[in-house]
Amino acid sequence: MAPTIKVGDTVPEGTFMHVPYSPELNSHAACGVPNKLDIKEWKGKKVVVFSVPGAFTPTCHVKHLPQYVEKYNEFKDKGVDVIAVIAANDTFVMSGWGRFEGLKDKILTLSNPNAEWSGKMGLSVDLSAVAFGTRTVRYAMIIDDLVVKYVEAKPGKGEVTVSGADAVLSKL
Give me the tens of pLDDT residue by residue for the chain, a chain 172 residues long.
Answer: 567 899 999 999 999 999 988 888 887 788 888 999 999 999 999 999 988 877 766 555 556 688 899 999 999 999 999 999 999 888 898 898 888 888 888 999 999 888 889 888 888 766 666 666 666 777 899 999 999 999 988 755 667 777 888 999 999 9
CA 23: distance to chain centroid? Answer: 22
Neighbouring C-alpha atoms within 13 Å toward the C-beta of 145 = 2
Task: Please identify which of the residues 19, 37, 47, 60 carries the catalytic annotation.
Answer: 60
- Active site includes 31? no
Rg (CA), the chain: 15
pTM here? 0.89
* CATH 3.40.30.10 describes domain 35-171: yes
Neighbouring C-alpha atoms within 13 Å toward the C-beta of 161 = 8
Counted residue by residue, the chain has a size of 172
